[in-house]
Structure 1
């Protein structure tokens, strides 16, 4: 009964895929590298013993990086363009808005270049996503947007702008390091500043990789992650780790298939980093058949820390299942019942489908080295992948048990919770309000 645990503790299967993914290089949505990552992932599912491994393609708005710059008082400051920034040049008075809380945008910002931090203060009750800050700036009339990292190390952050209806943003947007941000404030507050972004926005193609195990039941359990990554780094943590975990779970569960009472479908999504495009495509493809999805187990940023974190979105049964697997293996896990509308579970969970976002415990708010040049393989350990795969495989087997019931929630209940958790206003600004 425990042979599979020993095999997992000596398995290099998931880690080998992770190494292959980071060695692809650029896995930006719509790029040749993303397509190579799809092929690698499909091959891994086939090698794991999952059936019907395939790629489902779809069209997306492409974005290809060119040069970018922040120019002020005869100097050029280092920066990187934020994906789906328009190709444009804008000039205005440099204004530092600090954390960029919603109330910081109350004044008319016409004629300004605004800078905001990538984090929020400890006292603030919720995290404010980059795109929310961007669209507050757009609504307030800013000419350009500068996103300053709060993490030291000369690491400018990336991350997309744009909405589902208008994938390319309205004003040029760049990321600067914490150090460059501090320099801009110290030397150039109030000075005329130019932000320049050069990029291409071709039509492009992305895709989702599917495979399945277990009986051919109408009801199914989705095990997911995303394979695309930002073009500036290896994308090891975000989210090569999640793709590698899905493959490792497929290997384990292929050897435990007779324990599965419910079909387990693996879906590794493309184009997550530019607005959850792949998972939205799959959710819309299912339509009313989302009612047959027992739960979504979505992996986004595992392996980096040793302790698994489960965002459970108010589904008490999911919280109980996560804690139970930690107890079975005498291994710490953490749970969070609040809504996290920023990864590939969300296009399902927003309609009431029970969903986890599985990540790992890290220090501080924000992504740390994620979305920077420093998201590289050397930050991860194969030990963590193996340990976490043991817990997650057993969790999936238990969720797939015929005796497991996880009631869906009404759409209205999810909408009310977004209001209660002060997330609704920001989602309306970013065009993400679905109800």
Structure 2
């Protein structure tokens, strides 16, 4: 039967949910907007036909934005605080460290305010996350951290700092646009500058939204996303699109429920943008029961590009399943075996659970419009959501089939892969090394 394909390609269900999420406004972790997004997603999953739609709440370290300032000479330059920056002020000599590669932090940075780019050179073998650059700066003694966008458009980037053990960072941190970064280098390199961040860090609550379909098996598939977003933007791509995909997949799979041999659980995580808190909470809740997870299909940043990208983390069965679906539909996808130790699949994959990071192919490195004011609804296309939902629904049905086997990896194998891909050192400096 292929009627479901036509129904999916004309469906507005997921797209309407995306529009509802972006119209909430601020969905920052721990905010009233995030709570509203949880309730909207719970209700959408219920309308889709999934069972036992519910919210599992948990406590988090809250962070509420105040004003931020960057004083250079007699000027005040535009900037925004990075979430979980401490409320603090620091003055020091302004130093541009370029891309902020690990070797760029080898000198003593005491008394310095350092700036780094949001990207890495094309020839560099891996992407270096913002938090890794921040903690290199902290370890080298920097007084403050300035994160400069590499994308033109007068768009300062956001993105959290902090670790699981110390959720609020050590030194004040702000984001500046590419244009402000260039101006700072041109006019104030070597001069004294001051970074000030005002914020509140109250206790707060977040939560994960759950629902399920299929038979009541011990083994289960997780179809996941995160529903929080940074407070400065609509969070359409990151990650309203992923949560819209979850509810659309619930709608499709409710119609195909008799094809599911394995229970499918849908989870929209809270508090991803401040350190994968929601998915870590779920892994802790499951404990040893995570061994019953057949696979995790996590969508983070879909829809923006037309071609789906599957990071398979070295799980051969996941690679084969994605490629088989692409072949059946004669539809291009990108399948990459590399590890991505960011987003909500990772708290599962780090313990050997088979998991995809599903995103989409885009031009250049980095997030593009993501993590800026420009992550808005108008940049996405309903066609992409519909096409991708068809492929992902078929993928979930394939994985749920009793004849499709997946195998968990040993912890030692994940550690070896992290070391081989030069990710281990960075995870250790950011406090993300769990082994």
Q: TM-score, normalised by structure 2?
A: 1.00
How many Å apart are 1:178 and its aligned residue?
Answer: 0.2
Q: Take 2:24 and 2:278, find their aligned partners in 1: how far apart are those partners? A: 20
2:386 is equivalent to residue 386 of structure 1: yes
How many Å apart are 1:250 and its aligned residue?
Answer: 0.1
Q: Take 1:72 and 1:211, find their aligned partners in 2: how far apart are those partners? A: 51
2:398 is equivalent to residue 398 of structure 1: yes
Q: Take 2:50 and 2:202, find their aligned partners in 1: how far apart are those partners? A: 35
Residue 11 of structure 1 is matched in structure 2 by: 11
Residue 99 of structure 2 is matched in structure 1 by: 99
Residue 292 of structure 1 is matched in structure 2 by: 292
What do residues 270-317 of structure 1 show as CA deviations (whole Å, max 9, x unaligned)?
A: 000000000000011111011000000000000000000000000011
Residue 56 of structure 1 is matched in structure 2 by: 56
Residue 410 of structure 2 is matched in structure 1 by: 410
Gaps of 5+ in 1: none
Secondary structure at the counterpart of residue 309 of structure 1: strand
What do residues 330-372 of structure 1 show as CA deviations (whole Å, max 9, x unaligned)?
A: 1100011010000100000000000000000100000000000
Residue 182 of structure 1 is matched in structure 2 by: 182
Secondary structure at the counterpart of residue 123 of structure 1: coil
Secondary structure at the counterpart of residue 216 of structure 1: coil
Residue 274 of structure 2 is matched in structure 1 by: 274
CA RMSD of aligned residues (A): 0.3
Residue 155 of structure 2 is matched in structure 1 by: 155
Spell out the pairing of 1:367-386 with structure 2 (5 A cutoff).
367-386=367-386
Secondary structure at the counterpart of residue 422 of structure 1: coil
Residue 28 of structure 1 is matched in structure 2 by: 28
Spell out the pairing of 1:7-406 with structure 2 (5 A cutoff).
7-406=7-406
Give structure 1 regions of 4+ aligned residues with deviation exceeding 2 angstroms.
Answer: none
Q: Take 1:335 and 1:368, find their aligned partners in 2: how far apart are those partners? A: 21
Secondary structure at the counterpart of residue 22 of structure 2: helix
Q: Take 1:202 and 1:245, find their aligned partners in 2: how far apart are those partners? A: 32
Count of residue pairs the alignment pairs up: 435
What do residues 28-81 of structure 1 show as CA deviations (whole Å, max 9, x unaligned)?
A: 000000000000000000000000000000000000000001101110000000
Secondary structure at the counterpart of residue 8 of structure 1: helix
Secondary structure at the counterpart of residue 335 of structure 1: strand
How many Å apart are 1:170 and its aligned residue?
Answer: 0.3
How many Å apart are 1:169 and its aligned residue?
Answer: 0.1
Q: Take 2:74 and 2:381, find their aligned partners in 1: how far apart are those partners? A: 45
Gaps of 5+ in 2: none
Q: Take 1:260 and 1:126, find their aligned partners in 2: how far apart are those partners? A: 38
How many Å apart are 1:167 and its aligned residue?
Answer: 0.1
Secondary structure at the counterpart of residue 162 of structure 2: coil
